Amino acid sequence: MEGYKRYAIYYAPEAGPLADFGAAWLGWDPKAGSPRAHLRLENLPRPIGELTEKPRKYGFHGTVKPPFRLIEGSDIGLLHRSAAALCAQLKPVLLDGLQLSRIGGFLALTPRGDTGALGALAGSVVEALDGFRAAPTDEEIARRNPDRLSARQRQLLQKWGYPYVMEEFRFHLTLTGPLKDEEAEATRDVLEPLLASQLNRPFRIASLCLFGEADDGRFHNLHRYSLSG
Give the closest residue to 101 by CA, choosing from 192, 16, 27, 28. 192
Mean pLDDT, residues 199-214 taken together: 96
Mean pLDDT, residues 84-103 taken together: 97
Whether 211 has a pLDDT exceeding 90, the answer reads: yes
Per-domain boundaries in the chain: 6-226
Mean pLDDT, residues 31-56 taken together: 97
Computed over every residue of the chain, the mean pLDDT equals 96
Give the closest residue to 18 by CA, choosing from 177, 187, 201. 201
Give pLDDT, residue 67. Answer: 97
Give pLDDT, residue 125. Answer: 98
Whether 96 has a pLDDT exceeding 90, the answer reads: yes
| pLDDT digit string, tens, across residues 61-72 | 999 999 999 999
As a whole number of angstroms, the distance between CA 20 and CA 4 comes to 25
Give pLDDT, residue 169. Answer: 98
Give the closest residue to 219 by CA, choosing from 208, 210, 228. 210
DSSP the chain: --S-SEEEEEE-PPTTHHHHHHHHHHTEETTTTEE-PPP--SS-SS-HHHHTHHHHTT-S-EEEEEEEPBPTT--HHHHHHHHHHHHHHSPPEEESEEEEEEETTEEEEEEES--HHHHHHHHHHHHHTGGGBPPPPHHHHHHT-GGGS-HHHHHHHHHHS-SSSGGG----EE--S---HHHHHHHHHHHHHHHHHHHSS-EEE-EEEEEEE-TTS-EEEEEEEE---
User: For the domain 6-226, what is the CATH code?
Assistant: 3.90.1140.10
Mean pLDDT, residues 31-41 taken together: 96
Give pLDDT, residue 200. Answer: 82
Give pLDDT, residue 165. Answer: 97
Residue percentage of the chain with pLDDT more than 70: 100
Give pLDDT, residue 168. Answer: 97
Give pLDDT, residue 179. Answer: 98
| pLDDT digit string, tens, across residues 129-174 | 999 999 999 999 999 999 999 999 999 999 999 999 999 999 999 9
- What's at 65, amino acid-wise? K
Whether 80 has a pLDDT exceeding 90, the answer reads: yes
